[in-house]
Structures are given as structure tokens and as C-alpha cells.
Structure 1
Amino acid sequence: NVLQRNNYFVFIFNSFWVAFVSTALSLILGVPAAYAMSRFTMHRSALVVLMARVIPGVSLLVPWYYVFSNLRMVGRFEVLILSHMFVALPLIVYIMMSYFDSLPLELEESAQVDGLTPIGAFRLITLPLSVAGMATAGILSFIFSWNNFMFALVLSGSKTKTLPVAIFDFVSYASIDWGGLMAAATVVTVPIMIIALFTQKYIVSGMTAGATKG
């Protein structure tokens, strides 16, 4: 009944699209940034990235809404993707920094002795070795974006509404549709449970990669 009457397939597509694009863009930007911070010990830059993780997201909603409303962008996918990247990008950077720290520098030095440039060594040697870390960072970023409610509640529109916001429609001023609410919550939870079951080995290996060094 929830899937047929409330057009939930559109909301599922919206959530998937926002989560996929924000995660992909965060990986494209975050992995090279994490590599540079790890190899060149850019502690100040890492501290700036950490500050983005410390700042509460709710404190940014009012300025974001003011800026994007003046740009007439509220209710578009671009706004949701950018807001999710604000949290996903620092997460990816910190996971990948610890992963790059665990990789021996001698591999890149040997590649450069054989004629590769530093960028070539990163692309052909380091990047393939860090697939598990990228998978971990991407999965966690995707899960955050899929479950995000606060940003989508304020910045989404009727055509870009995501699943967590759609669930909120079952709560009205006078009553709560508990049956529909639980059914819709199951629709949100099941895809993440399936992803977690099939990718748990990548999450565990990636999160523990930077635990030991040497």
C-alpha cells in the first residue's frame, strides 16, 4: 500500500541518486586530498577538514537556506548533493588518510626509480592498493547520505524529496499512521541492511587498516 499509493519508487530513486552522486564526487575529491595530506604531513589542512566534522550540521542549515534561496536553488538535487558532501568529504578524507599512512612509501619510491612520475606512482601503484579503503569510505558515505533527514527536510522540494523526509509525511498534527510509518521505515532500512551484509568485510578491513603501522 505504501509503495503503490505514496509514489515511493520516486523517493527511492531520489535517495539513491543523491547518495550515489555525493559519494562519487566526495571520493573523486577526497582520495587525492587524503593522499596529499598523508604523504606531505599537512597537519593544518587536516585540522581544517576535522573542523568540518566537528561543526554541527544544524548550525549550517539557516545560512545554507538563505544562500541557496537567493540563488533560487532550493529544491534541486544540486543543493542536496552539496550539503551531503559537506559531511561525506571529511569522512572520506580521514578514513583514506589512515589507509595511506599504512601503505609503505618504498613502493612509490621504487615505482619512481623505474621511471614513473609521482602522479603515475599514485595512479598505478597506490590507488589500486587502496581499493578496500575507498570501498569502506564510499559505503559509509553512502549510508550517511541515504539516511540523512535534516538536510533534505529543509533543502529538498516536492520533486526531490528523499525517503527519510517521505516517512515524515506519516506524522501529522492530529495523528500518526503507525502501520504506514513502520512499512515505510522498512523500505528505508532493507537496502542498507543488504549493502552492509555484502560489504561488511570491506568495512572491517578498511576501518582497521590504520590501526597498526610499521
Structure 2
Amino acid sequence: MSGRLIYLIGPSGSGKDSLLDAARERLAERDCVIVRRVITRSAEAVGEDAIGVSPAEFDQQEAAGGFALSWRANGLAYGIPRQIDDWLAAGQDVLVNGSRAYLAQARQRYPELLAILLQVDEAALRQRLLARGRESAEQIEARLARNRSFVVGGASAATVAAEAPPTPGSTERLIVLNNSGSLEQTVTQMLHLLSDNRTCA
């Protein structure tokens, strides 16, 4: 049986990197691989455990078919190595740190992917963004505004997941995972969620 792609999305500062780091060993025990993204960001930059490349190197890899998925956002280019197709074909589940804006395209290539939206209360999100010190106050407020405007099918993602049963092929199939509390609580909730949806089980 083929594995399943788990597509984690959420606003910057929602804690995706921290969640993946905290859950890494327990996911590995369930034969679930967390993918290292290729990003046009220097290796010295603060952030996730990614593979940093130059824009020219990224373009070369992309043109050579080196990525299963790739997109641009916030002035950077992101790529998911093509190796994930081998892992999926071997029956392993694969978890990627994806892009909200690229979800529809990702679902076209992987129709059965499980999309998880990591959400954080706005007050907590603002505090985390300020604590990171990566952006100005204006940039942070712009990020918060984009987060408020994120809608799927005309409703908030939380509303869609809670109230609207998904239809086959719908891009509105999102499972919301709240990360406003403790990280350990979120890890536990995610593992239960994955087991309930018969991935990484």
C-alpha cells in the first residue's frame, strides 16, 4: 500500500517547526518521514532545519525536475525533494511543511493528501512573532492581517472543518489543529489526529 502525504500548513509563527521537532521521534516510530525543504535562504538564517541554496541553484534543481512540489512566497523559493515519491511508493507516510497558497496545486498532484492547518490565537501569534525578532512591527501586523483573511471556500478554515462536511476533490478538506496551548499537548493531539485518519498509524 502506498503511503500518504501529510501537508502541514499555518501562518508564520504558528509553531510548525517546533511542532515537527517535538514530534519527530514519535513520528519516526510510526514510519512517518518529515521532509527537509529546500529554501533560498542562507544556512545561517534562523528558522527551520532546511537545505539552503542560492536562487540560481534552486532554479537549476527545479528545471531538472528535482522537486515534487515547489512554490514562491515571502520573497523565497521553496522545494519539496522528489524523493518523497519514492518514500510514498514504499508505503511510508510523508509529512511536509507546506504553503497555504499552494494547497490546491498540491492536492492536484496528491489527491489523497491530508491537509492540517495549525492555528494559533492572534494574541499568542503576535507575541511569538515579536519574540522571534525577524520582522518589523509593520511586517508583523501585515502577517496577522493575512492570517485573518485566510479563507477556504468563503469561510474560515476552522468553520469549514467544523461545520461543512468535505466533498470529494474539495480543496476545503482541512483539519484544524490548535497550537495556542502547550507544545506537548499539540503533539499529542496531532498524533491522535493522524491515527484517527489512518495515517502514520
Query: What TM-score do you get using the length of structure 1 for normalisation?
Result: 0.27
- Tell me: higher relative CO, structure 1 or 2? Use CA pairs within 8 A at least 6 residues apart: 1
Structure holding more strand per residue: 2
Query: What TM-score do you get using the length of structure 2 for normalisation?
Result: 0.28
Structure holding more helix per residue: 1
- Structure number, greater radius of gyration: 1
